[in-house]
């Protein structure tokens, strides 16, 4: 090899080595590069699971960064769900929206007869949602095309839930809890309460617990819908209750948070707040987190209801909190999305969306989706 060719070969080798090192350096500076262990952006049901515990997998960053927003034609009081590809959420303009998570583009929207206040449910390629006329719809998640519908005689404001065997559960303002076949919408059984059912029923697959304006915690057999017991709550139950390990956690309008024993129906403990509870509680292995209309987030011991910490926000809180890793996220009447430390309730970050927030967020894959009463849908922390 000539001296000239040697020099050329050496220069090419050095340039290739430098380029390779540069690429390695660039990759090492990209901590948000997706990996096979990334938690998927999935939150298919109101409050995260059929027991409505309000706990998400994975973790959240220490900051809230807006990825996109979409304007609907009415206030958004519906809570969203996510299937890893799209955000599904209702609006009081009468439409259910399917929004592409990556771009924020509306993929499709389905028009109901009246506004949609209830959170949707995603399951097995379908979206189920009720509207304010009392009609429950089953829609194709890819196209938004209606598969079937069922008409109750009172408006539906709470999310549907599901039972093993592809059964759909939802309550109505005709004081009735319905169990339908998810495939074709036929009625399997119905259970009548003493007043409006506002929230979603919680279930562990064997039992169902629900409450409403009759001030009673109803405990039902999941297979038959037969009543297994009741407990007097003491006031209206405006939201949904969470259940876990034969316990139900109930926040009601009379300022009290209750722990109810489901095996031997009775109140285990009570905690009194400074104002009414409208939001649904979140439940971890050791804590119960419940915001109230006195602008305070209360964290109490799951075992005995003793107070662990409090945080005071800038207004009443009707938005149900979600726990994700070591953080809590919720919205507030003051228009802010809040991020708190789970350990001690200290503030980590806030983001002012400008509109009153009453709905619960969807949390998954490090992302947060939610709406506000100015009619916007937001996605935070898209990588």
Contact between residue 226 and residue 216 where contact means Cβ atoms under 8 Å apart? no
Q: Is residue 292 included in any domain, yes or no?
A: yes
Q: Is residue 376 part of a domain?
A: yes
Percent of the chain with pLDDT over 90: 89
In this model, does residue 6 exceed pLDDT 50?
A: no
Contact status, residue 250 vs residue 234, Cβ threshold 8 Å = no
**Would 5 be classed as within a structural domain?**
no
Lowest-pLDDT choice from 24-38, 252-266, 280-294, 326-340? 24-38
217/214 Cα distance (integer angstroms): 9
pLDDT at 31 over 60: no
Containing structural domain, residue 353: 37-380
Residue 11 lies in a domain: no
pLDDT for residue 383: 72
What's the pTM value of the predicted model, to 2 decimals? 0.89
Q: What's the pLDDT score for residue 235?
A: 96
Position 136 in a domain: yes
Q: What is the 3-state secondary structure (H, E, C) of 131-180?
A: CCCCEEEEEECCCCCEEEEEECCCCCCCCCEEECCCEEEEECCCCEEEEE
CATH number (domain holding residue 307): 2.130.10.10
- List pLDDT tens digits, range 66-88: 999 999 999 999 999 999 999 99
d(C-alpha 293, C-alpha 253), whole Å: 9
Domain count, the chain: 1
Any domain includes 1: no
β-strand partners of 106: 99
Does 159 map to a domain?
yes
pLDDT of residue 9 exceeding 50, the answer is: no
Is 165 a member of any domain?
Answer: yes
């Amino acid at each position: 090899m000539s001296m000239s060719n040697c020099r050329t070969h050496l220069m090419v080798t050095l340039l290739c080595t430098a380029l390779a090192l540069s690429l390695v350096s660039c990759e090492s500076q990209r901590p948000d590069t997706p990996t096979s262990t990334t938690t998927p952006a999935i939150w298919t049901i109101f409050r995260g699971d059929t027991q409505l515990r309000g706990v998400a997998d994975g973790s959240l960053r220490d900051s809230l960064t807006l990825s996109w927003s979409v304007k609907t034609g009415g206030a958004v009081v519906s809570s969203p769900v996510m299937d890893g590809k799209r955000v599904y959420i209702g609006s009081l303009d009468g439409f259910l929206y399917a929004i592409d998570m990556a771009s924020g583009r509306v993929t499709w929207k389905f028009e109901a007869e009246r506004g949609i206040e209830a959170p949707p449910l995603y399951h097995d390629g379908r979206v189920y949602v009720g509207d304010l006329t009392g009609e429950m719809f089953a829609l194709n998640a890819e196209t938004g095309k209606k598969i079937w519908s069922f008409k109750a005689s009172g408006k539906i404001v709470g999310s549907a839930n599901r039972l093993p065997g592809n059964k759909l559960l939802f309550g109505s303002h005709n004081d009735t809890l319905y169990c339908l076949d998810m495939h074709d919408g036929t009625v399997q059984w119905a259970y009548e309460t003493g007043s409006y059912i506002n929230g979603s029923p919680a279930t562990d697959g064997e039992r169902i617990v629900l409450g409403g304006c009759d001030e009673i915690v109803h405990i039902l057999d999941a297979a038959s819908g037969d009543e297994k017991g009741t407990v007097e709550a003491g006031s209206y139950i405006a939201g949904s209750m969470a259940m876990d390990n034969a316990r139900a956690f109930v926040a009601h309008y009379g300022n009290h948070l209750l722990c109810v024993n489901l095996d031997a129906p009775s109140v285990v403990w009570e905690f009194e707040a400074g104002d009414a509870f409208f939001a649904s509680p979140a439940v971890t292995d050791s804590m119960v987190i419940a915001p109230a209309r006195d602008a305070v987030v209360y964290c109490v011991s799951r075992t005995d209801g003793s107070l662990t910490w409090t945080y005071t926000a800038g207004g009443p809180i009707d938005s149900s909190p979600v726990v994700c890793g070591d953080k809590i996220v919720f919205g507030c009447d003051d228009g802010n999305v809040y991020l708190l430390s789970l350990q001690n309730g200290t503030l980590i970050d806030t983001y002012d969306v400008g509109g009153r927030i009453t709905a619960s967020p969807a949390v998954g894959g490090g992302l947060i989706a939610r709406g506000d009463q100015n009619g916007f849908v937001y996605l935070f922390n898209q990588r």
